Structure 1
Amino acid sequence: MIKFWAFWVFAVHVAISACYAADTGAASAERPGQGAPAQILVMLHLPAPHFRPDNSYSGRYTDDSGRSARRRIAEDLARVHGLTLVGDWPMAMLGVDCYVMAVPAPARASRESVAQIVDTLTKDARVEWVQEMGVFHAQQSSDPLYPVQPGGKAWHLAEIHSVSTGRNIRVAVIDSGIEDTHPDLQGQVQLKENFIDGNPYVPESHGTAVAGIIAARAGNGVGIAGVAPDAKLMALRACWENPGKTAECNSFTLGKALNFAILHNAQIINLSLSGPPDRLLQRLVDAALSRGIIVIGAVDPHVKGGGFPASYPGVVAVSDDAAKAATAQVLIAPGRDIPTTVPGAKWRFVSGPSYAAAHVSGMMALLLELHPGRTSHIREGIVLTAADGNDSGAALLSSIDVCATVANQAGKCLCLCSSAHALKVNHNP
Structure 2
Amino acid sequence: MKRLLALAFCLCSGAVMAQAGQDLPQIVPRIDAPAETQQAPGNAEILVMFHLPAPHFRADHYGSNNYREDAGRAARQRIAAAVAQDYKLELMEDWAMPALNVDCYRMRLPAGQGAATLLDVLSRDSRVEWAQVIQDFVAQAGSDPLYRTQPAAGAWHLDEVRKAATGRKVTVAVVDSGIESNHPDLAGQVTVEENFVDGQKYVPELHGTAVAGVIAARAGNGVGIEGVAPDARLMALRACWQSGSATRCNSFTLAKAMNYALSNGAQVINLSLSGPQDRLLLQLVEAAQARGIRVVGAVDPARADGGFPANTPGVFAVASDGAAPHAGLHPLLAPGRDIPTTLPGGRWGVVSGSSYAAAHVSGMLALLDELKPQLSAARLREGIVPGDASAVLTGIDLCATILRLTGKCTCACPTSSNSRFVRSP
Give the TM-score taking structure 1 as reference length: 0.84
- In the TM superposition, what are the counterparts of 1:180-199 in structure 2 within 5 Å? 180-199=181-200
Instruction: For residue 380 of structure 1, give the secondary structure of its aligned residue in structure 2.
Output: helix
Identity of aligned residues (%): 54
* Deviation (angstroms), 1:14: 6.4
Q: Is the 8 A contact 1:93 1:287 kept in 2?
A: yes
Match of 1:404 among 391, 400, 404: 400
**How far does the alpha carbon of each residue in 1:28-54 deviate from its partner, in whole angstroms, 9 at most, with x for none?**
323367989821000011122348568
The 5-angstrom pairing of residues 61-210 of structure 1 reads: 61-64=68-71, 66-107=72-113, 113-140=114-141, 150-210=151-211
1:277 corresponds to which residue?
A: 277
Partner of 2:228: 227
Report the Cα distance in structure 1 between the residues aligned to 2:39 and 2:297, rounded to whole angstroms: 21
User: What letter corresponds to residue 136 of structure 2 in structure 1?
Assistant: V
Determine the C-alpha separation between the residues in 1 that align with 2:42 and 2:65. 27
| SS of corresponding position for 2:305 | helix
Partner of 1:313: 313
RMSD value over aligned CA atoms?
Answer: 2.9
CA 1:52 to 1:187, structure 2 compared with 1: closer, same or farther past 3 Å?
Answer: farther
1:145 is aligned to none
Between 1:269-278 and 1:66-75, the stretch displaced more is 66-75
Q: Secondary structure at the match of 1:273?
A: coil
Show CA shifts across 1:216-240 (max 9, x none): 0000011100000000111111111
Distance 2:135 2:65 in 1: 23
Cα distance, 1:374–1:151 mapped onto 2, change above 3 Å: closer
1:179 Cα shift? 0.7
Distance across 1 between alignment mates of 2:11 and 2:373:
37
Contact 1:32 1:197 in 2 (8 A): no
Gaps (5+ residues) in structure 1? Answer: 21-26, 108-112, 141-147, 389-397, 423-429
> Aligned to 2:199, what secondary structure does the other structure show?
coil
Aligned equivalents of 1:158, 1:78: Cα separation in 2:
58
Q: Are 1:319 and 1:330, in contact at CA under 8 Å, matched by a contact in 2?
A: yes
The verdict on how the C-alpha distance between 1:6 and 1:219 changes in structure 2, with shifts beyond 3 A counting, is farther
- Following superposition, the deviation at residue 334 of structure 1 comes to 0.2
The counterpart of 2:382, out of the listed 380, 383, 404, is 380
Describe the shift of the 1:155–1:173 C-alpha distance in structure 2 as closer, same or farther (beyond 3 A): same
Q: Which whole-Å CA distance do the structure 2 matches of 1:34 and 1:210 have between them?
A: 32
Tell me how far apart the structure 1 counterparts of residues 286 and 118 of structure 2 sit (CA, whole Å).
27
**Deviation digits for residues 112-158 of structure 1 (CA, Å, limit 9, x no counterpart):** x2101111111111000011111111111xxxxxxx75342221111
Per-residue Cα deviation, 1:386-427 (whole angstroms, up to 9, x for no partner): 659xxxxxxxxx9211121123345344335599699xxxxx
Amino acid at match of 1:78: A
Equivalent position amino acid for 1:12 in 2:
L
94-103 or 371-380, larger mean C-alpha shift = 371-380
Instruction: Give the distance between the partners of 2:82 and 2:44, measured in 1 at CA.
Output: 19
The AA in structure 2 aligned to 1:401 is D
Distance 1:19 1:408 in 2: 36
How is 1:231-310 mapped onto 2 (pairs within 5 angstroms)? 231-244=232-245, 246-310=246-310
1:17 aligns with 2:16: yes
- Structure 1 Cα separation of the partners of residues 17 and 332 of structure 2: 34
Q: In structure 2, how many angstroms separate the alpha carbons of the residues matched to 1:324 and 1:37?
A: 38
Distance 1:19 1:83, change over 3 A: closer
- SS of equivalent residue, structure 2 residue 374: coil
The CA distance in 2 between the partners of 1:284 and 1:237, in whole Å, is 17
Structure-1 residue corresponding to 2:67 = 60
Question: Is the CA contact (8 Å cut-off) linking 2:174 and 2:208 kept in structure 1?
Answer: yes
> For 1:338-349, what aligned pairs fall within 5 Å after superposition?
338-349=339-350
Which residue is 1:336 aligned to? 337
What's the offset of the Cα at 1:78? 1.7
C-alpha change, 1:313 and 1:383, in structure 2 (3 Å) is: same
CA distance in structure 1 between the partners assigned to 2:386 and 2:295 by the alignment: 19
Report the CA distance between 1:169 and its aligned residue. Answer: 0.3
Q: CA offsets, 1:263-313, max 9 Å, x none?
A: 111110000000110111111111110111000000011112101000001
Gaps of 5+ in 2: 20-32, 142-148
Q: Which amino acid aligns with 1:68?
A: A
Which residue in the other structure is 1:24 paired with? none
- TM-score w.r.t. the length of structure 2 is 0.84
Identify if the C-alpha distance between structure 1 residues 68 and 46 changes in structure 2 by more than 3 Å, giving closer, same or farther: same
Distance 1:54 1:44 in 2: 16
Q: Residue 69 of structure 2: SS of its match in structure 1?
A: coil
1:159 Cα offset (Å): 1.2
